[in-house]
Amino acid sequence: MPDKTPVSTLVFDVNETLIDISTLEPFFQRLFGDAAVLREWFPELILYSQSITLSGIYTPFGALAAGVLRMVGDNHLVAVTDDDVAELKRLFGQMPAHADVAPGLARLKEAGFTLVTLTNSAPGPSPTPLERAGISDCFDHHFTVEEVGKFKPHPATYEMVAEKLQVSSSELCMVACHLWDTIGAQAAGCQAAFIQRPHNAVLHVEQVPEPDHVAVDLMALADRFCAVRS
Protein backbone atom coordinates (compact mmCIF):
# COMPACT_ATOMS: atom_id res chain seq x y z
CA MET A 1 0.00 0.00 0.00
CA PRO A 2 2.95 2.45 -0.20
CA ASP A 3 1.45 4.45 -3.04
CA LYS A 4 -2.04 4.50 -1.53
CA THR A 5 -3.67 6.75 1.03
CA PRO A 6 -3.71 4.88 4.35
CA VAL A 7 -7.07 3.18 4.80
CA SER A 8 -9.03 4.27 7.86
CA THR A 9 -12.40 2.71 7.09
CA LEU A 10 -13.39 -0.68 5.69
CA VAL A 11 -16.76 -0.76 3.92
CA PHE A 12 -18.27 -4.24 3.80
CA ASP A 13 -20.70 -5.67 1.31
CA VAL A 14 -23.17 -7.89 3.16
CA ASN A 15 -24.88 -10.53 1.02
CA GLU A 16 -22.43 -13.35 0.27
CA THR A 17 -19.39 -11.39 1.48
CA LEU A 18 -20.38 -11.54 5.16
CA ILE A 19 -23.52 -13.67 5.01
CA ASP A 20 -23.53 -17.21 3.63
CA ILE A 21 -26.16 -17.37 0.88
CA SER A 22 -25.40 -21.04 0.22
CA THR A 23 -27.74 -21.79 3.12
CA LEU A 24 -30.57 -20.96 0.68
CA GLU A 25 -29.75 -24.06 -1.40
CA PRO A 26 -32.34 -26.33 0.29
CA PHE A 27 -35.06 -23.83 -0.63
CA PHE A 28 -34.07 -23.90 -4.30
CA GLN A 29 -33.75 -27.69 -4.18
CA ARG A 30 -37.32 -27.94 -2.89
CA LEU A 31 -38.77 -25.41 -5.31
CA PHE A 32 -36.86 -26.28 -8.49
CA GLY A 33 -35.48 -29.74 -7.78
CA ASP A 34 -32.01 -28.26 -8.23
CA ALA A 35 -30.07 -26.35 -5.57
CA ALA A 36 -27.88 -24.86 -8.28
CA VAL A 37 -30.75 -22.59 -9.37
CA LEU A 38 -29.63 -20.38 -6.48
CA ARG A 39 -26.65 -19.48 -8.69
CA GLU A 40 -29.03 -18.50 -11.45
CA TRP A 41 -31.40 -16.46 -9.29
CA PHE A 42 -28.78 -14.45 -7.39
CA PRO A 43 -26.78 -13.27 -10.44
CA GLU A 44 -30.05 -12.39 -12.18
CA LEU A 45 -31.04 -10.36 -9.13
CA ILE A 46 -27.78 -8.43 -9.32
CA LEU A 47 -28.10 -8.01 -13.09
CA TYR A 48 -31.57 -6.47 -12.82
CA SER A 49 -30.63 -4.27 -9.87
CA GLN A 50 -27.90 -2.79 -12.03
CA SER A 51 -30.18 -2.60 -15.08
CA ILE A 52 -32.86 -0.58 -13.32
CA THR A 53 -30.23 1.74 -11.84
CA LEU A 54 -28.81 2.40 -15.31
CA SER A 55 -32.38 3.07 -16.46
CA GLY A 56 -33.02 5.63 -13.71
CA ILE A 57 -35.48 3.38 -11.87
CA TYR A 58 -35.50 2.20 -8.26
CA THR A 59 -37.47 -0.42 -6.38
CA PRO A 60 -36.47 -2.01 -3.06
CA PHE A 61 -34.10 -4.98 -3.29
CA GLY A 62 -36.58 -7.30 -1.57
CA ALA A 63 -39.31 -6.55 -4.10
CA LEU A 64 -36.85 -7.10 -6.93
CA ALA A 65 -35.69 -10.38 -5.37
CA ALA A 66 -39.28 -11.63 -5.32
CA GLY A 67 -39.89 -10.57 -8.90
CA VAL A 68 -36.71 -12.25 -10.12
CA LEU A 69 -37.69 -15.46 -8.27
CA ARG A 70 -41.00 -15.49 -10.16
CA MET A 71 -39.17 -14.78 -13.42
CA VAL A 72 -36.77 -17.67 -12.85
CA GLY A 73 -39.80 -19.81 -12.03
CA ASP A 74 -41.38 -18.89 -15.36
CA ASN A 75 -38.14 -19.80 -17.13
CA HIS A 76 -38.16 -23.23 -15.46
CA LEU A 77 -41.94 -23.73 -15.82
CA VAL A 78 -42.28 -23.71 -12.04
CA ALA A 79 -45.22 -21.88 -10.46
CA VAL A 80 -43.80 -19.69 -7.68
CA THR A 81 -46.48 -19.00 -5.07
CA ASP A 82 -46.87 -16.18 -2.56
CA ASP A 83 -45.88 -18.69 0.14
CA ASP A 84 -42.65 -19.44 -1.75
CA VAL A 85 -41.83 -15.75 -1.91
CA ALA A 86 -42.57 -15.36 1.80
CA GLU A 87 -40.35 -18.34 2.62
CA LEU A 88 -37.45 -16.91 0.61
CA LYS A 89 -37.87 -13.55 2.34
CA ARG A 90 -37.81 -15.25 5.74
CA LEU A 91 -34.77 -17.38 4.91
CA PHE A 92 -32.93 -14.42 3.37
CA GLY A 93 -33.21 -12.61 6.69
CA GLN A 94 -31.87 -15.56 8.67
CA MET A 95 -28.68 -16.47 6.83
CA PRO A 96 -25.63 -17.04 9.07
CA ALA A 97 -22.30 -15.32 8.78
CA HIS A 98 -19.37 -17.17 7.23
CA ALA A 99 -17.18 -18.78 9.89
CA ASP A 100 -14.27 -16.41 9.24
CA VAL A 101 -16.32 -13.24 9.57
CA ALA A 102 -16.69 -12.72 13.34
CA PRO A 103 -13.01 -13.34 14.19
CA GLY A 104 -11.86 -11.29 11.20
CA LEU A 105 -14.03 -8.34 12.18
CA ALA A 106 -12.87 -8.59 15.79
CA ARG A 107 -9.22 -8.45 14.69
CA LEU A 108 -9.82 -5.40 12.50
CA LYS A 109 -11.85 -3.66 15.21
CA GLU A 110 -9.10 -4.25 17.75
CA ALA A 111 -6.57 -2.78 15.32
CA GLY A 112 -8.55 0.47 15.25
CA PHE A 113 -10.23 0.37 11.85
CA THR A 114 -13.67 1.89 11.40
CA LEU A 115 -15.97 -0.83 10.09
CA VAL A 116 -19.20 -0.10 8.21
CA THR A 117 -21.56 -1.97 5.92
CA LEU A 118 -23.00 -0.91 2.58
CA THR A 119 -25.76 -3.14 1.27
CA ASN A 120 -28.24 -3.21 -1.59
CA SER A 121 -30.86 -4.48 0.86
CA ALA A 122 -33.31 -1.95 2.25
CA PRO A 123 -33.28 -1.27 6.00
CA GLY A 124 -35.71 -3.29 8.05
CA PRO A 125 -36.95 -3.64 11.63
CA SER A 126 -34.93 -5.29 14.37
CA PRO A 127 -33.78 -8.02 14.46
CA THR A 128 -31.96 -7.30 11.21
CA PRO A 129 -30.16 -10.03 9.23
CA LEU A 130 -26.83 -8.89 10.69
CA GLU A 131 -28.30 -8.95 14.21
CA ARG A 132 -29.58 -12.47 13.64
CA ALA A 133 -26.14 -13.45 12.34
CA GLY A 134 -24.60 -12.06 15.53
CA ILE A 135 -22.26 -9.54 13.87
CA SER A 136 -24.21 -6.27 13.79
CA ASP A 137 -22.39 -4.83 16.82
CA CYS A 138 -19.03 -5.29 15.09
CA PHE A 139 -19.81 -2.26 12.91
CA ASP A 140 -19.74 1.45 13.61
CA HIS A 141 -22.37 2.29 10.98
CA HIS A 142 -24.74 0.54 8.57
CA PHE A 143 -25.52 2.11 5.20
CA THR A 144 -28.04 1.08 2.57
CA VAL A 145 -28.32 2.16 -1.06
CA GLU A 146 -31.94 3.08 -0.42
CA GLU A 147 -30.65 6.44 0.82
CA VAL A 148 -29.61 7.35 -2.74
CA GLY A 149 -32.15 5.24 -4.64
CA LYS A 150 -29.45 3.54 -6.71
CA PHE A 151 -27.89 0.11 -6.45
CA LYS A 152 -24.20 -0.65 -6.33
CA PRO A 153 -21.94 -0.20 -8.24
CA HIS A 154 -23.33 3.28 -8.97
CA PRO A 155 -20.74 5.86 -7.80
CA ALA A 156 -23.35 7.64 -5.67
CA THR A 157 -23.54 4.66 -3.30
CA TYR A 158 -19.85 4.80 -2.37
CA GLU A 159 -19.77 8.60 -2.39
CA MET A 160 -22.65 8.60 0.10
CA VAL A 161 -20.58 6.59 2.58
CA ALA A 162 -17.62 8.98 2.28
CA GLU A 163 -19.90 11.98 2.74
CA LYS A 164 -21.68 10.50 5.75
CA LEU A 165 -18.39 9.63 7.42
CA GLN A 166 -16.80 12.94 6.37
CA VAL A 167 -13.73 11.28 4.90
CA SER A 168 -12.14 11.17 1.46
CA SER A 169 -13.15 8.26 -0.78
CA SER A 170 -9.45 7.35 -0.97
CA GLU A 171 -9.54 6.56 2.76
CA LEU A 172 -12.22 3.92 2.21
CA CYS A 173 -11.60 0.33 1.21
CA MET A 174 -14.57 -1.61 -0.16
CA VAL A 175 -14.48 -5.26 0.97
CA ALA A 176 -16.54 -7.57 -1.22
CA CYS A 177 -16.58 -10.99 -2.84
CA HIS A 178 -18.10 -9.53 -6.02
CA LEU A 179 -15.73 -7.96 -8.50
CA TRP A 180 -18.47 -5.69 -9.87
CA ASP A 181 -18.57 -4.13 -6.39
CA THR A 182 -14.82 -3.61 -6.12
CA ILE A 183 -14.68 -2.19 -9.67
CA GLY A 184 -17.43 0.29 -8.82
CA ALA A 185 -15.72 1.34 -5.60
CA GLN A 186 -12.40 1.87 -7.33
CA ALA A 187 -14.10 3.95 -10.04
CA ALA A 188 -15.47 6.15 -7.24
CA GLY A 189 -11.98 6.68 -5.81
CA CYS A 190 -12.00 4.02 -3.10
CA GLN A 191 -9.55 1.22 -2.58
CA ALA A 192 -10.83 -2.34 -2.84
CA ALA A 193 -10.29 -5.72 -1.22
CA PHE A 194 -11.63 -8.95 -2.70
CA ILE A 195 -12.63 -12.00 -0.62
CA GLN A 196 -12.48 -15.22 -2.63
CA ARG A 197 -15.83 -16.79 -1.74
CA PRO A 198 -16.98 -19.84 -3.74
CA HIS A 199 -18.35 -19.00 -7.22
CA ASN A 200 -16.50 -15.65 -7.21
CA ALA A 201 -13.13 -14.95 -8.80
CA VAL A 202 -11.01 -12.04 -9.98
CA LEU A 203 -11.51 -10.92 -13.58
CA HIS A 204 -8.23 -10.44 -15.45
CA VAL A 205 -8.99 -8.15 -18.38
CA GLU A 206 -6.91 -5.28 -19.70
CA GLN A 207 -8.18 -1.86 -18.57
CA VAL A 208 -10.38 -3.43 -15.87
CA PRO A 209 -9.03 -2.56 -12.41
CA GLU A 210 -8.15 -5.49 -10.20
CA PRO A 211 -8.59 -5.23 -6.41
CA ASP A 212 -5.82 -3.68 -4.37
CA HIS A 213 -5.97 -6.69 -2.03
CA VAL A 214 -7.07 -10.29 -2.59
CA ALA A 215 -7.49 -12.76 0.27
CA VAL A 216 -8.91 -16.25 0.71
CA ASP A 217 -11.06 -15.15 3.65
CA LEU A 218 -11.61 -12.28 6.06
CA MET A 219 -9.06 -13.50 8.60
CA ALA A 220 -6.36 -13.49 5.92
CA LEU A 221 -7.39 -9.98 4.88
CA ALA A 222 -7.37 -8.82 8.51
CA ASP A 223 -3.86 -10.21 8.96
CA ARG A 224 -2.72 -8.24 5.90
CA PHE A 225 -4.27 -4.94 7.00
CA CYS A 226 -3.08 -5.29 10.59
CA ALA A 227 0.47 -6.08 9.47
CA VAL A 228 0.56 -2.90 7.37
CA ARG A 229 -0.83 -0.78 10.20
CA SER A 230 1.49 -2.16 12.91
Count of domains for the chain: 2
Q: Tens digit of pLDDT for each residue in 12-64?
A: 999 999 999 999 999 999 999 999 999 999 999 999 999 999 999 999 999 99
Is residue 179 within 8 A of residue 193, CB to CB? The reply is no
* 19, β-bridge pairs: 15, 97
Quick check: is 4 in a domain?
no
Q: How far is the C-alpha of 149 from the C-alpha of 199, rounded, in Å?
A: 28
Residue 108 and residue 211 in one domain: yes
CATH number at residue 213: 3.40.50.1000
Residue 80 and residue 173 in one domain: no
19 to 12, 157, 219: CA distances (angstroms) = 11, 20, 15
Q: State the chain's mean pLDDT as an integer.
A: 95
Coil, strand, or helix at residue 40?
Answer: helix
Q: Tens digit of pLDDT for each residue in 104-157?
A: 999 999 999 999 999 999 998 889 999 999 999 999 999 999 999 999 999 999
Quick check: is 117 in a domain?
yes
Q: How far is the C-alpha of 98 from the C-alpha of 229, rounded, in Å?
A: 25
Residue 132 and residue 118 in one domain: yes
Q: How far is the C-alpha of 57 from the C-alpha of 230, rounded, in Å?
A: 45
Give me the domain span that covers residue 75.
21-92
Residue 1's pLDDT band (cuts 50, 70, 90) = very low
Residue 220 and residue 113 in one domain: yes
Residue 13 and residue 32 in one domain: no
CATH number at residue 74: 1.10.150.240
Residue 71 and residue 141 in one domain: no
Quick check: is 116 in a domain?
yes
> In the prediction, which pLDDT does 227 show?
86
Residue 185 and residue 225 in one domain: yes
Residue 200 and residue 108 in one domain: yes
Residue 27 and residue 13 in one domain: no
Residue 81 and residue 136 in one domain: no
- Domain end marker among 49, 66, 92: 92
